[in-house]
Every structure is written in structure tokens, then in C-alpha cells.
Chains A and B, each alone.
Chain A
């Protein structure tokens, strides 16, 4: 990412973060709360036990309106992603990713079918490039409109439904990856039953003008606490979810990243709409033959966390460097260090003993399944 802009942008909730005592840090060009006085550990555990409210307004919200019909828009998007866009029912959301000609990932995202248009949420650090990419490639089929007058909240955790249903009863009927637009006192809320913590919960697009009032009402509830980016990171790591720019980027393919579940059969070899996306040759070949490297979970066997960049070796002395940690830290719900990263496929089976080099010392680490903690989505 270029860092030519020195002025940090603020979300509509900036003043509320300061009022709540947040520690603010620069993130993807925004001033964002990394933690509140509760602290990362307690915020993480609160989200797992109750409900956490996250400001994710830095993320890009985009509306894609068809110029002709939805079918042409869907086909246009399918030419940018190895994902089935056509066939996604109205009121449903799906995970997707833009790929490049080498099969690398330009960004990962969520898109929803809202009847006469698609609604997309993309990563903050990639949103300008994503919008330019779509405007360039979808010019004939869609109007690409960044949504700039709305905030985005995530409400996550076992009590998220109780908290949100107190304000918007309709959400009780939603299942994982459903989307719903509801007119409320706060204007139209665009709600999806999803998130990035492994917990049941919601992402809620709220008009910027009313989001502070809406957030306050949620925060007034005893089960809801404001949660910062620090805990968001440890929650998604425990859930085995990729952070763009760390676990996935232009140098990793969806197959290496273990995101094969996101490539529907219709887009694979032999499918009805096989290939036809950037990097299809590489990605379909990797699907057939297996990738050279794979993203795996890693369980450090000592208490020392293995952070991003830790080299992974196949022996306690000498041997070969066979991988690297892409996300690592401490999992508060597991009470232990956890990490994920890429290793050569020959060393990727669960239980394989490996070594991570931490401050010049090789420490034992074991390949494990992801996620570290099972998700609790309401399916």
C-alpha cells in the first residue's frame, strides 16, 4: 500500500471512540480504535461470552447496479472472481475474491444479492483499487457506486442476536449469510448475519448520521461492549480466518490459502461456467494437482508466541526452511499461542512436527487443523 496521505481519515464513530477511552491507531489510512480500557484480552473474551460491537466503517461498501440486467452483472463479476455469482439467491450473501492473472488474490470480500442490485463489502486497504478494478472491467454492465454516507458495525457473539433483536426484531429469523434491509428510526439498516470472529453475529450498515445513536443504544445493553481491532485480530485468528495483506495477497492463490470452499463446483473444471476468471489456468491446475504450499494452522509447543514472519523449519537444527508464519499471536480463548502460515505441501498434514525460529532459537510447533475454535454460526 502507498502511504502518500498523511491525514488519517475518521469514521462517523470517531468521537464516540474517544469518549469511550479508546486507544486510537492508524489502520489502512483511518484512525481506528485498537482497544478500549477493558483491554484486548478481556474484549476478546467478552465477545466470545456475550457480544462485542466493532466499528468497521473503514471497510469499503459498494453498490453494483446493473446497467441492463442482473444476469449481465453477475456474468461480469464472474469474469473477475473464481466464484459463482449467478445462482446466489436474493437475500443471500457469499464470500468472494478478486484474482489476478497469476492466480493471486487482489482482495477478498462479501457480496450480497439484494434483488435489483448487488451490495459488496471489501477490505479498507484495498477499496480504492477494488473500485477502480470494477469500474474498469464492469463499465458495460454495472454502475459501481462506493457508499460514502454509511457506517458499518459488526455485532458479534452468542448474545448478538438478543441485543440486535431488541432494536430490530426481524433479525431473529435470519440465518448465517442472510441479508435484510429494514427501515427503522435510524433510517434503513442493511443487515447481514455474518462477521469475522467465528461467532454468530451481524454486520450492520447504518446511515452515518444516525450511527452514533444506534451504537449507543446497543452499548447501553449490559451484554454489549465496544471492541477494538486488537481483539478483532485475535478473534479472527482463532476462527482461522485470513487477513488480507497478511495471510492472503497477490502472491497467494485461493487454493494455497485453503479457500477452495469459496470456489463453487460450477467454476471448476467440468463445471457449467468453468474457468473464465483471471488466473484460471493456475488455479484450476492447482485444484487438480495440489498446490506447492498450503496455509495451515500452527500450534507452538512452548508458551512463546510465533509472530508474523517467523520462519518455519523441518528440523530442530540444520534442515530446510519450509514455510513462514503469516499471522500469529496469543489465542485468549485457548490460553495458548496460536499461528497460521504457509508450509510446503509435504509438511502440511495435521500433526506434522516442525520448528519455528524465534529470536534465533528453533522452537517446536505442530501443524494443526483450522479453525482453532469451531465457529458458532447460526446455519
Chain B
């Protein structure tokens, strides 16, 4: 598992990367009440806003961590946004991306590095 400074986690699953938000991020957001997922087959660039998460408090975005194509989204989150709080690093993944080269993930933080980053 790799981590971004935007509090996303990235998990390699075969030739795709599964993207979600960390427990820390979910806790900061508070109760999630709405999730807007990206379109499947959307080609996105690193830094693009691909998802919207709304908690009882505010709206925030999930940014594409790398360039790639969205190949699958977690429809369960549309019906049950609260899953983000219940299981942020498991069932509440947001989308899967196909990358040209999985080696770009080497640049992201390991779990230990992310823990240090949180301080």
C-alpha cells in the first residue's frame, strides 16, 4: 500500500491501482453523506478532481494521484456514503485506475513514511 500527501491510499491489484482515502482523512471529514464518482473510461491527469466527497460539514475533492484511465468505480458508495467512515481502507475504495507504468507508484510514501508525515 502506498500513500499520497493528499491522504489517499493506493493499492496495486494486478495491472490496476485501487484508490481510497486514509482513515485519518475519513476521520477529518466526519460523517460522509454524499459521494460523486468519476465516469468509467475517463482519462485523467494527476491532480484532476475526480471525486467529490461531502460530509455533514463540507465538500472536498479526491484528486487523481497519477495519470491514467478510470476503469472501475465503487457504486456501493453512491448508495451508502457512510461506508467511507466505516471501512475507509477496505470496502470504501473509490475507483480503480489503469496506468501506463506502475513504477510511478514508487514515488509515493510507504505506510511508515505516511505515519511520519502525519506526525
Q: Which residues of A contact B (CB under 8 A)?
A: 34-35, 39-42, 44, 230, 234, 303-305, 307, 329-330, 332, 337, 359
Contact = CB atoms under 8 A, between A and B. Distances in A.
A305 B36 CA distance: 11
B57 A230 contact: yes
Contact of A41 (B36, B52, B56): B56
A-B pairs, top 10 by smallest CB distance, nearest first, are A41-B31, A330-B33, A40-B56, A303-B34, A305-B54, A330-B56, A304-B34, A40-B30, A39-B31, A41-B56
Contact of B54 (A42, A230, A304, A332): A304
Interface in B6-56: 30-31, 33-34, 36, 52, 54-56
Contacts of B52: 304, 359
A35 B30 CA distance: 9
Contacts of B57: 34, 40, 230
B102 interface: no
Contacts of B78: 303
Given A330-B54, A359-B52, A305 B59 contact: yes
A208 B61 CA distance: 42
A356 to B, nearest CB: 13
Contacts, number: 43
A230 B28 CA distance: 13
Nearest to A300: B34
B34 A332 contact: no
Interface of B: 30-31, 33-34, 36, 52, 54-59, 78, 81
Given A304-B36, A304-B54, A305-B54, A40 B59 contact: no
A329 B56 contact: yes
A305 B34 CA distance: 8
A359 B57 CA distance: 17
B62 to A, nearest CB: 13
A234 B54 CA distance: 14
A337 B56 contact: no
B34 A234 contact: no
Nearest to A330: B33
Nearest to A41: B31
A330 B53 CA distance: 13
Contact of A39 (B30, B36, B81): B30
B48 to A, nearest CB: 13
Contacts of A234: 56
A307 B56 contact: no
A117 B57 CA distance: 40
Contacts of B55: 40
Contacts of B81: 303
A252 to B, nearest CB: 24
Contacts of A332: 31, 56
Given A40-B57, A330-B54, A332-B56, A305 B33 contact: yes
23 contacts: A35-B30, A39-B30, A39-B31, A40-B30, A40-B31, A40-B56, A41-B30, A41-B56, A42-B31, A230-B30, A230-B57, A234-B56, A303-B33, A303-B78, A304-B34, A304-B52, A305-B33, A305-B34, A305-B59, A329-B56, A330-B56, A359-B36, A359-B52
